[in-house]
Amino acid sequence: MSFIICFLFLLASASLATAQETGSNITLGSSLSPTSNSSSWLSPSGLYAFGFYHQGQGYAVGVFLTGIPPRTVVWTANRDDPPVSAGATLLFTNDGRLILRSSQGQETSITSATGSAYSATMLDSGNFVLYDPKGSVLWESFDYPTDTLLPTQRLLAGQQIISSISATNHSTGLFRLKMQHDGNLVQYPVNTPDTAPYAYYATSAGGLGDNVSLNFDVDGHLFLLNTTGYVIKNITTGGLPTKRMICIFRIGSDGLMRLYSYDLNQKGNWSVVWSSTKDECDPKGLCGLNGFCVKNDQQATCQCLPGFDFVEPGNWAAGCERNFTAETCKTGDADKDGCKQACLEDCNCEAALYKGGNCSKQRLPLRYGRILITDATSALIKVEEHLERFTKG
C-alpha cells in the first residue's frame, strides 16, 4: 500500500529525539522471538511497534502500525535479507548491540550504531531510537528511511527512499525518490543516473539552495525547506485534522507517491489525500524491457511489443523477450516509406520510431514504452513473416 498516515499526537522532530521523549524503555538483555507473546516492543500508545512481522514464508524485523488492518510496515531492517524462520531471536545484548540471531546461530546487526547502546525505545512518533549511557541519541530509524516517511521525519539532501517490491514484500523495489543537493525532489527508476532523461517526477525547485530537505508536518503538510528556514516549495497544503487521524508518506511499489489518511474513530479504509500523478503509466520502468504501459479503466497495464512474450507472466518488471529466434535479417515488400525499408535492410535494426519525417532506428531492449493517444509517433517492430510485420502505436 502506498500512502501517508497523519498521526494525531503532537510529536517532536526526529532530529530532536531525546531520552526525555515519552517511550517504552527497553533495557539491555531484552529479547524478542517471532512466535512468542514477546514478538515486538510497543510505543506507549500501542500504535507503533518494533519487532518481528510476517514476510513471505518467514519473518522480518521492522517498525509497523498495530491494530489497523492490514498491517502497515513503515520501516524494515536489512530489507533485502531473506526472511528468517520462527526460530530466530532479536537480542538487545548486554554489551549494547541490537542483533538478529538466526536459528542456525548466524548474527546480523540491525543498526549501524558505532557505539554501545545503553537503552532503547519505540516512540509514539514511529521512531525507534537507541541511546548511549548519557541519554543522547546513538541511532534512530528516522535517519534511515526505507520507503516511508512519518510526520516529523525529514528527507535530507542526498537521501532517498526506495519503493518496496509489493505491499507484502518490503525488499528493494523499482523506484526511488531522491532529495537532491540542488534542491530538487525527483523520482527515478532504481539503478539509473540522477539525470533528467530518467526522471518522471520533479518539484522543479532545483537551484534554490543547497541542503534543502523534505519536511512532513503532523497535519499532512509536505514541503521543501532550505537551511535558512524558508519554504521554497509546498508539495501538499496540509490542514488535515491532528486528532484521531493518522498520516504516512510513501513511494509505492507502482512508483507513485501518495498521502493517505486513516480515521482512528471510524476504523474504515485508508483515504488517498494526495498523489504525485493521476497517470499510473508515468513511472518509467514499470513494464520492464520491451514492454509498454497502457491505461485500462484508469489502471496501468503492461503489454509486450509484437513478437514478444512476458519473461515471467504476472511479473511486469521482468520485461518481455522475443518469442522467436531472428536467424536472418528478413526483407520484403515495403510500401509505407523509407523508414520501414531502412530497418528491414539493416540486420542491426530491430525496431524504428517514425514521426514527422524523422526515422530513428533502434536496437533491443526498448525501455519506458507507453501508448499516448496524442502522440503521432509510429513504432515499427520487426517480427516474423507469419506475423504482421509492423505495428503502429
Side chain identity at 225, as an amino acid letter? Answer: L
pLDDT confidence tier of residue 374, bands split at 50, 70 and 90: low
| Sole residue written with cell 546480523 | 108
Q: What is the pLDDT of residues 16-74, one digit of tens each?
A: 343 334 557 999 999 999 999 999 999 999 999 999 999 999 999 999 999 787 889 99
One-letter amino acid for residue 44 of the chain: P
Decide if 260 contacts 248 (C-beta within 8 A): yes
Sign of CA dihedral 19, 41, 147, 98: positive
pLDDT in tens, 87-146: 999 999 999 999 999 999 999 999 999 889 999 999 999 999 999 999 999 999 999 999
Mean pLDDT for 376-383 is 79
CATH number for domain 14-275, candidates 2.90.10.10, 3.30.56.10, 3.10.129.10, 3.40.50.720: 2.90.10.10
> Which pTM was predicted?
0.80
Closest C-alpha among 309, 362, 373, 311 to residue 339: 362
User: Which is more confident, 366 or 340?
Assistant: 340
| Cell numbers that stand for 252 in this block | 509505492
Q: What is the 3-state secondary structure (H, E, C) of 270-290?
A: CEEEEECCCCCCCCCCCCCCC
Angle at 377 between CA 374 and CA 383, to 5 degrees: 130
- Predicted pLDDT at 206: 65
Q: Where do the domains of the chain lie?
A: 14-275, 291-381
Statement: residue 275 has pLDDT above 70: yes
In the predicted structure, residue 79 carries a pLDDT above the cut 70: yes
* DSSP conformation class of 84: B
* The predicted structure's pLDDT at residue 13: 37
Instruction: Report residue 9: phi and psi, to 5°.
Output: -75, 155
Average pLDDT, the chain: 86
